[in-house]
Amino acid sequence: MAYKLYFKYGVMGSSKTAQALMTRFNYEQQGYKVLLMKPKIDNRDDKSEKTIIKSRIGLEEEAYAFSLNENLIDTFSKLSEDKNYNVIICDESQFCTAEQIEQFKTLTDKVPVFCYGLKTDFKSNLFEGSKRLIEIADSLTEIKSICECGKKAIINARFIDGIITTTGSVVDIGGDEKYRPLCYSCYKNYINQSKNQ
Catalytic residues: 92
Contact between 113 and 106 (Cβ < 8 Å): no
Residue of 141, 148, 144 lying closest to 185 (CA atoms): 148
The letter for the amino acid at 167 is: T
Pairing assessment for the beta strands 163-165 and 155-160 based on DSSP bridges: antiparallel
Task: For residue 124, give every residue at least 6 positions away whose Cβ sits within 8 Å of its Cβ, in sequence order, or none.
Answer: 154, 155, 187
* DSSP-based three-state secondary structure for 127: coil
Give Cβ neighbours of residue 134 (< 8 Å, ≥ 6 apart).
7, 119, 126, 140
